[in-house]
């Protein structure tokens, strides 16, 4: 049996190590990797982001806006950097932003945040599980005291044990400041879980039969009704009122037409078993996440927003959008990389104090996309717009 070749410089982050990996791949595959092998940052900048670095993939960034936002934290006009390869997306977001701005702007409110990790504890019997549940609830003050030296951003706000027979899933709920906090709460929850296992044995003589740091109950990077109803990450809401004149002038349709399309979409969403109702906020979220250094895999749960449209008495269009589980941060993760940091600077959200503002900005631009996409469907321009701007074919 042939021994497989091993990638060189394992665990090393220097430029010398990166070049060694590139030369190895060129030799093994025959691919020059001239484009992928070009980077604009120091190799060691990604020491906490990417292992076995060889290069980078450049994603085009378009700019959408301006969008006037009347938020609790985001006030003024904003331009959104959208990293995307999907034609028509930037144009559609910009059109929606223009309509919202002409109507006086979009209102936005950051409502709160929470991040969770839910480890699995298995006891011998239901009776032991009930004792462990009560023990965990009683230990909340002690658990909170242990969190303080472990993080400068996180605070443990609650522990909620959930029983399934002799199994106890403990929901550790945190506020994570300006960090997204997924890795943070994983580490802290593991430390607290080990302490609970020891203390429970000392107090009761019972032993945790099996432990696992996560058994899917936190819905990490997965869409779920739990995240939709209770929230995970940031919860933010945006709304607006568009007069019939604005809808006709900018969106080339009517409020009645957009609401009819929305109602048809609600019916289809129910038939499909969709979580929440929206046209396609994942597009805007993914583009903003990529541009600003967010965890792109979190788009899955971040895009379960709920859109509500209706007609006011004067014929105006009322629109509201709730994002219950927007997983974002303005410190940590990829937010410190140079290009991503510039995009956060463009939004005025880089560093400490920027998370609430970023959440409101994302909600505002998502609502702009929803309005524009609804209008395109109502005016039967959806296909023609993608034909004009999105198809990858010669003229």
Q: Is 308 labeled as catalytic in the residue annotation?
A: no
Question: Helix 89-102 crosses helix 355-378 at what angle (to 10 degrees)?
Answer: 100
Give the C-alpha separation, 326 to 181, whole Å. Answer: 12
The vertex-161 CA angle with 157 and 164, nearest 5°, equals 155
In degrees, rounded to 5, the angle at the alpha carbon of residue 44 between the alpha carbons of residues 41 and 50 is: 90
- H-run or E-run covering 258: helix 255-272
Residue 393 has pLDDT above 70, yes or no: no
| Residue % of the chain over a pLDDT of 70 | 96
- Whether 82 and 292 have beta carbons less than 8 Å apart is answered as no
Instruction: Kindly report the backbone phi and psi dihedral angles of residue 213, in degrees, each rounded to the nearest multiple of 5, phi listed first.
Output: -65, -25
- What whole-number distance in Å separates Cα of residue 276 and Cα of residue 41? 39
Catalytic: 386? yes
> Per residue in 254-279, is it b (16+ CB within 10 Å) or e — as a string?
bbebbbebbeebeeebeeeeebbbbb
- Residue spans of the domains in the chain: they are 9-58, 62-113+231-389, 119-212
Cα(212)–Cα(229) distance, integer angstroms: 25
pLDDT number for residue 386: 62
Contact between residue 64 and residue 268 where contact means Cβ atoms under 8 Å apart: no
CA distance 193 to 213: 8
86 catalytic? Reply is yes
pLDDT of residue 326: 97
pLDDT above 60: residue 122: yes
- The H or E element that residue 164 is part of is strand 155-164
Give the pair of three-digit tokens for residue 140. 């909340």
Global pTM exceeds 0.85: yes
Q: What angle do CA 215, 355, 108 make, to 5 degrees?
A: 105
CATH number for the domain running over 119-212: 3.30.70.420
| Burial class of residue 394 in the structure, from the number of CB atoms within 10 Å of its CB (0-12 exposed, 13-18 middle, 19+ buried) | exposed
Q: Mind listing the pLDDT tens digit for each residue in 319-371?
A: 999 999 999 999 999 999 999 999 999 999 999 999 999 999 999 999 999 99
Residue 4: the pLDDT is 76
Which tokens in the block code for residue 232? 């995970």
End-to-end CA distance of the chain: 52
Report the chain's mean pLDDT, rounded to a whole number. 94
pLDDT of 195 above 60: yes
Q: How much is the pLDDT for 153?
A: 82
Confidence at 98, pLDDT banded by 50, 70, 90: very high
Asked if the model's pLDDT at residue 395 lies above 60, the reply is: no
Write down the catalytic residue from 206, 306, 308, 386: 386
Among 295, 308, 342, 381, the active-site one is: 295
**pLDDT tens-digit readout, 198-236:** 999 999 999 999 999 999 999 999 999 999 999 999 999
12, 86, 175, 244: which is the annotated catalytic residue?
86
135-180 pLDDT, tens per residue?
999 999 999 999 988 988 889 999 999 999 999 999 999 999 999 9
- Is pLDDT above 80 for 128? yes
CA–CA separation, 359 vs 367, rounded Å? 12
Bridge partner residues of 203 (DSSP): none
State pLDDT tens for residues 8-44.
999 999 999 999 999 999 999 999 999 999 999 999 9
User: Parallel, antiparallel, or unpaired: how do β-strands 106-117 and 61-71 relate?
Assistant: parallel
In the CATH scheme, what is the code of domain 62-113+231-389?
3.90.770.10
């Amino acid at each position: 049996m042939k021994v497989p070749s091993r990638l060189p410089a394992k665990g090393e982050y220097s430029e010398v190590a990166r070049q060694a990996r590139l030369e190895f791949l060129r030799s093994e595959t025959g691919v020059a990797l001239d484009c992928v092998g070009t980077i604009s940052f120091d190799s060691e900048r990604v020491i906490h982001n990417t292992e076995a670095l060889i290069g980078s993939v450049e994603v085009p960034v378009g700019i959408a806006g301006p969008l006037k936002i009347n938020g609790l934290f985001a006030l003024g006009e904003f331009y959104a950097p959208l990293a995307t390869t999907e034609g028509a997306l930037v144009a559609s977001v910009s059109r929606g932003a223009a309509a919202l701005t002409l109507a006086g702007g979009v209102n936005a409110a950051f409502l709160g945040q929470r991040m969770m990790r839910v480890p699995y504890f298995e006891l011998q019997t239901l009776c032991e599980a009930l004792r462990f549940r009560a023990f965990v609830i009683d230990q909340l003050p002690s658990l909170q005291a242990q969190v303080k030296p472990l993080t400068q951003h996180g605070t443990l706000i609650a522990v909620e044990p959930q029983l399934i027979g002799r199994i106890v899933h403990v929901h550790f709920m945190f506020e994570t400041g300006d960090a997204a906090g997924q890795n943070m709460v994983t580490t802290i929850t593991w430390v607290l879980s080990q302490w609970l296992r020891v203390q429970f044995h000392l107090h009761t003589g019972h032993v945790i039969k099996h432990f696992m740091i996560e058994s899917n109950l936190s819905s990490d990077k997965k869409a779920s009704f739990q995240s939709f109803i209770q929230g995970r990450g940031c919860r933010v809401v945006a709304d607006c009122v568009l007069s019939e004149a604005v809808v006709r002038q900018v969106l080339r349709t009517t409020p009645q037409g957009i609401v009819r399309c929305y109602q048809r979409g609600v019916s289809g969403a129910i038939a499909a078993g969709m979580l929440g109702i929206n046209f396609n906020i994942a597009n805007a979220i993914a583009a903003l996440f990529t541009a600003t250094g967010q965890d792109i895999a979190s788009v899955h749960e971040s895009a379960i927003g709920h859109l509500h449209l209706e007609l006011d008495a004067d014929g105006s269009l009322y629109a509201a959008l709730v994002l219950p589980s927007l997983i974002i941060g303005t410190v940590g993760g990829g937010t410190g990389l140079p290009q991503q940091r510039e995009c956060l600077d463009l939004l005025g959200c880089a560093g400490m104090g920027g998370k609430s503002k970023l959440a409101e900005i994302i909600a505002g631009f998502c609502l702009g996309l929803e309005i524009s996409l609804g209008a395109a469907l109502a005016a039967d321009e959806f296909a023609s717009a993608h034909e004009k701007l999105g198809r990858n074919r010669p003229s």
